[in-house]
Chain A
Amino acid sequence: MDMFLETFFNWQIIEEAWPILWQGLQATLLLSLLVVPLGIAGGIMIAVLSTFHAPWVKWPLCVYVDTFRALPPLVLLIFIFAGLPFVGIDVGPWGAVAIGFFLNTGAYYGEILRAGIESVPRGQLEAARSTGLTRGQTMAHVVLPQAVRNVLPDLISNTLEVVKLTSIASVVALPELLFQARQAQSVTYNATPIMAAAVVYFILLWPVVRVLSRLENRQLAGRR
């Protein structure tokens, strides 16, 4: 038992490793603040495009979404970071993360928002257009606000996944939280930094999880 506590929950190790973990936490927060808005922007773009039924929009979009949902984000990231420089495109670690997440999480957010847009009754669109609002204005002021509200739990749920997925940024040498924790682990020969990182993730995400549960319960109640 003592051995277990010493290896996994060692306070002294936490104190020693904290500066490294703190750097990692900052990087993770920064990454999240970068990739979540990027993903949502990409998602809105995809979802709005999906309302166009012309074949030359529909099919390329379908290929795009399928590709970036099927491709493991880790592979995508490595390819952008390490592969593209061979054809003269070197975007650096932050650029690679930004592009990779825009493509990958954008596709996921896009599918969620598309479902949201489809959940808005057609009459809403007709009412708006009958008053002279353009297609774009109708989307921005009438359809999207309702679409987002209808799929809010899914959007938050996906955001939780995205924040956790930022840990793959370590493969392009961005020292995010989990990467720093593993560094600390290898220096101290102790698993405590990993556990500390897990606790930090938990503290970071738990409030969001609570909000999500409440929203889900409310939606269930609303359906009754």
Chain B
Amino acid sequence: MTTTPIVEARAIHKHFGHLHVLKGVDLRVAEKELVFLIGPSGSGKSTLLRCLNRLEDPSSGSVMVDGIDMLDARTDINKARQRIGMVFQSFNLYPHMTALGNVALALRKVQGMGKAEAEARAGKALDRVHLGDRADHYPLQLSGGQQQRVAIARAIALEPRVMLFDEPTSALDPELVGGVLAVMRELREDGMTMVVVSHEMGFAKAAADRVVFMADGMIVEEGNPADFFDAPKHERTRNFIRQIERH
């Protein structure tokens, strides 16, 4: 791919006290690409994801997203974050607001829409995750899978240029995973650029353009899913794939 990348992280280091969590990671994501980040727990994949929208501040390195230097002190980080949607393992829906309220909040407060306009946009975002009929439900009245789809709607309503998924299905009962993955696949078909941290290997094989394997804060190996899963080059990758496929 020759297009300029939407996400370009270079030489990212991250220290938590004495812990060296990221040890010089480079990640480029092209437009409309779906990149899958996998690796054992503690490998730094979630931290890398969180460095991209600066929920974590990298200790050093550079992060460009859609042409914006995320680490520049002059960058309006709140403006930049609207271009980067994020979905969390634990959904993190606001429990005191309805599904519609969850999606509309940033539209109103960040993008400055009026109530009616924001709710119309929020309604459309909920339709895209097939929950238009649950708009007035509170998070506690929804299943985990539905909550996660509302969380996706909350992010895509802002029309981001890239979506980050941090283990979006790890907290879900198995029978609810499919609905969330289906929505993610539709997003992909609509041309959304996505970076996904997940252990859903079936989904990676079927939908990813590229799989990136991390271990000990470094990228060990990357490639298209077919090569990556069928002919991994590194011993560590082989071990990891063997372990997860045993399940």
Q: Mark B58-100, 1 if CB is under 8 A from A, else 0.
A: 0000000000000000000011011011101010111110000
Question: Is A133 a contact partner of B78 (Cβ separation < 8 A)?
Answer: yes
Which of A32-40, A137-145, A162-170, A172-180 binds B? A137-145
Number of residues of chain A lying within 8 A (CB) of chain B: 18
List 14 contacting pairs A-B, 8 Å CB cutoff, sorted by A. A123-B90, A123-B92, A124-B92, A126-B55, A127-B151, A128-B105, A130-B84, A130-B86, A133-B78, A133-B106, A133-B110, A141-B105, A142-B94, A146-B95
Q: A123-B88, A141-B105, A145-B96 are in contact. Are A129 and B81 (CB under 8 A)?
A: yes
B86 touches A124 (CB 8 A): no
Q: A132-B158, A133-B105, A133-B110 are in contact. Are A126 and B92 (CB under 8 A)?
A: yes
Contacts of A137 in B (CB 8 A): 109-110
- Of B53, B96, B105, the residue contacting A130 (CB under 8 A) is B53
Counting CB contacts under 8 A, is A149 at the interface? yes
Interface positions, chain B 145-189, Cβ under 8 Å from A, are: 151, 154-155, 158
- A contact residues around B105 at 8 Å (CB): 128, 131, 133, 141-142
Tell me the nearest residue of chain A to B110, going by C-beta: A132
Query: Is the C-beta of A67 less than 8 angstroms from some C-beta in chain B?
Result: no
Answer whether residue A134 sits at the interface, using C-beta atoms and an 8 A cutoff.
yes
A127 and B88 contact, Cβ closer than 8 Å, known pairs A132-B158, A149-B96: yes
Smallest CB-CB separation from B76: which chain A residue?
A132
For chain B, the count of residues having a C-beta within 8 Å of the partner chain is: 24
A145: chain B residues at CB < 8 Å are 96
Bound Cα distance from A115 to B158, whole angstroms: 32
Q: Which of A121, A124, A132 contacts B106 (CB under 8 A)?
A: A132
Write out the residue numbers on chain B whose beta carbons fall within 8 Å of the beta carbon of A141.
Answer: 105, 109
Cα A126 to Cα B56 in complex, Å, equals: 10
Q: How far is the CA of A130 from the CA of B86 in the complex (A)?
A: 6
B98-123 residues at the A interface, CB under 8 angstroms: 105-106, 109-110
State the CA gap A129–B105 with chains docked (Å): 12
Q: Which of B55, B92, B110, B155 has the largest count of A CB atoms less than 10 A from its CB?
A: B92
A224 to chain B, nearest CB (A): 16
Chain B residue contacts of A134, Cβ below 8 A: 78
When A and B form their complex, what is the total count of cross-chain residue pairs whose Cβ atoms lie within 8 Å? 63
Interface residues of B (CB under 8 A from A): 53, 55, 78-79, 81-82, 84-86, 88, 90, 92-96, 105-106, 109-110, 151, 154-155, 158
Assess whether A130 is in contact with B81, with CB atoms less than 8 Å apart.
yes
Interface majority SS (helix, strand, loop, mixed), chain A: helix
Q: Is the CB of B109 within 8 A of A127?
A: no
| Residues A132 and B78 in contact in the complex (CB < 8 Å), given A137-B109, A141-B105 | yes
Q: Is the CB of A132 within 8 A of B82?
A: yes
Beyond A124-B92, A124-B94, whether A131 also contacts B154 by CB under 8 A is yes
Residues of chain A whose beta carbon lies under 8 Å from any beta carbon of chain B: 121, 123-124, 126-134, 137, 141-142, 145-146, 149
Separation of A132 and B158 alpha carbons in the complex (Å): 9
Kindly list chain A residues whose C-beta atoms are within 8 Å of the C-beta of B158: 131-132
Chain B residues whose CB sits within 8 angstroms of the CB of A142 once the complex forms: 94, 105
The 3 closest A-B pairs by CB, nearest first: A127-B92, A131-B106, A123-B92
- Chain B nearest CB from A116 CB (Å) reads 13
Given A126-B55, A127-B151, A142-B94, also A132-B86 (CB < 8 A): no
15 more A-B residue pairs beyond the given contacts A121-B90, A126-B88, A131-B106, with a C-beta to C-beta distance below 8 A? A121-B92, A126-B55, A127-B86, A127-B92, A127-B93, A127-B151, A127-B154, A128-B94, A128-B106, A129-B55, A132-B110, A137-B110, A142-B94, A146-B95, A149-B96
Give chain B nearest CB distance to A174 CB in angstroms: 39
B94–chain A nearest beta-carbon distance, Å: 6
A134's closest neighbor in chain B, by CB? B78
For residue B82, which residue of chain A has the nearest CB?
A: A132
Which chain A residue shows the least CB distance to B154? A131
Closest B residue to A148 by beta carbon equals: B96
Contacts of A130 in B (CB 8 A): 53, 55, 81, 84-86, 155
Please give the distance in Å from A134's CB to the nearest CB on chain B.
Answer: 5
Kindly report which residue of chain B lies nearest to residue A123, judged by CB atoms: B92
- Quote the shortest CB–CB distance from A142 to chain B (angstroms): 6
The one of B90, B96, B155 that contacts A131, using a Cβ cutoff of 8 Å: B155
